[in-house]
Amino acid sequence: MRHASLGILSAAILLASSAQAADNAAVKEKAEVCAGCHGDNGISQTENIPSLAGQLDQYIQWQLVFFRAGARKNEQMQPIVEQLSNEDIRNLGAYFAALTPFKGGKDDNPDLSEKGKQAAAGRRCASCHGDTFAGTKAVARIAGQREEYLVKALHDYKSGQRSGGAQAAMADVAYPLSDEEITALAHYLAHL
């Protein structure tokens, strides 16, 4: 009796781990497609395409759902999300969140960063994005993100092109930002 149940138990464990391995292979295959634009290891080398490495699991999942529902519009992402099941979305969120986070390069304009730092303090960006701007849950990691993408994202919220989740918190935040502030904020955040 004891042996029989142990046998069943180990068979169950084997099944669980092989299913997980298959999952991993499937998610890696999907992630190869993403790498074509979002870069190897989730670090983008391409203008206006955000890095995904270390981005938050929940945030990634929500954005994929928003793209799929047409609530967030982007010509390049549209055909991609049409191919994704809910399970793919869960797996891809976990996959990219587990990669080593993107990090900013050397700061070539510390004066602009200082302005951005002041703007971030004045606008209380850290109250939602966290003291290190690493984000939490559905609030994006923004530290070290590509500078020109951050500028684009803030302009998209400001113009209403992108409304975003969490009661459209970012639309309210971005609306009063001047172009000068956006430039400085993006420079500061991109170099953290």
Burial class (CB in 10 A: 0-12, 13-18, 19+), 105: exposed
Residue nearest to ligand HEC (CB): 164
Q: Which of residues 134-153 bind ligand HEC (CB under 6 A)?
A: 138-140, 142, 145, 150, 152-153
Piece of 9-17, 21-29, 105-113, 117-125 that binds ligand HEC (CB under 6 A) = 117-125
Q: Which of residues 24-43 bind ligand HEC (CB under 6 A)?
A: 30, 33-34, 36-38
**Quick check: 94 binds ligand HEC (CB under 6 A)?**
no
Q: How far apart are CA 86 and CA 51, in angstroms?
A: 22
Closer residue to ligand HEC, CB minimum distance, 12 or 136: 136
Q: How far apart are CA 26 and CA 101, in angstroms?
A: 22
- Residues 6+ away with beta carbon under 8 Å from 30: 84, 88, 91, 92
By CB under 6 A, how many residues form the interface with ligand HEC?
Answer: 42
Among 154, 184, 190, 192, indicate the residue that binds ligand HEC (CB under 6 A): 154
> Do residues 51 and 43 lie in contact, with contact meaning Cβ atoms separated by under 8 Å?
yes
Q: How far apart are CA 160 and CA 78, in angstroms?
A: 19
- Residues 6+ away with beta carbon under 8 Å from 4: none
Residue numbers of the site for ligand HEC (CB under 6 A)? Answer: 30, 33-34, 36-38, 48-50, 52, 60, 62-64, 74, 76-77, 80, 92, 120, 123-125, 127-129, 138-140, 142, 145, 150, 152-154, 164-166, 169-170, 173, 185
